Amino acid sequence: MGQFIDLQAADGLSIPAYLARPSAQARRAVVVVQEIFGVNRHIREVADGYAAAGYLAIAPATFHRVQTGVELGYTEADMKQGMALKAAVEALPAPGVLQDLQAAVDFAARESGGKVGIVGYCWGGLLAWRAASKLKGLSAAVPYYGGGMTQAQEVASKPQVPVMAHLSDNDAHVPMEGVAVLQKAHPEVIVHIYPARHGFNCDHRAAYHAEAARLARERTLDFLARHLG
């Protein structure tokens, strides 16, 4: 359904992104933010799914600043490589990868002519949480099991747009005690907790939980429809 295009970040760097368009003219858009496995088959399928629901969907390659063409699977070796790439991106001087997400938001707004939301998974969930307080032009944010988003420096963020978070009750990356802190600090954030593991939305992983994924998508589409029009 989609194709890769190039975005231009504020510092002039060209960033690849997977673009999926709906069959009819898009009136709203969503930026899909990858896990630590790159813009792989799963993330492209997620973007295609949002396009099928009527959104212009774009998934920027958020590893591109440290390594090009990353597309990983889910083995232990892939996990190790993905974590190292994530660490390298996180170590970039500000604004780092956020300028690439901003380029995706700006492109999505121009191409759709409508409001833009952001949905992220795993590391992408953390980036979606940061985007809610730091990026311009967003109207909603949906982090899925954003690893690290309950750490003190992340909880201190002040979202400027409505946020819905999909978390699970068996996730070492987003422990329940941290979720309680997040909920206390941000009562305005809608938090859904599922009886599942980290990565439950990905049907390419052993952690996939079909019912949790279905319900989270249903809730996300309803949330985006309310805030993006």
- 122: annotated active-site residue: yes
Structural element, H or E, at residue 220 = helix 210-228
Six token digits for residue 105:
């938001």
At CA 210, angle to CA 186 and CA 199, rounded to 5?
50
- 202: annotated active-site residue: no
Q: Distance between CA atoms of 180 and 141, rounded to whole angstroms?
A: 20
Single out the catalytic residue among 48, 100, 106, 171: 171
Single out the catalytic residue among 64, 100, 106, 122: 122
- 192: annotated active-site residue: no
Single out the catalytic residue among 198, 202, 209, 227: 198
Task: Give the number of other CB atoms < 10 A from CB of residue 101.
Answer: 28
Alpha helices in 3-155 (DSSP H): 41-52, 76-90, 98-112, 123-134, 152-155
Q: Is residue 6 within 8 Å of 104, Cβ to Cβ?
A: no
Q: Distance between CA atoms of 32 and 94, rounded to whole angstroms?
A: 21
Catalytic residue annotation: 122, 171, 198
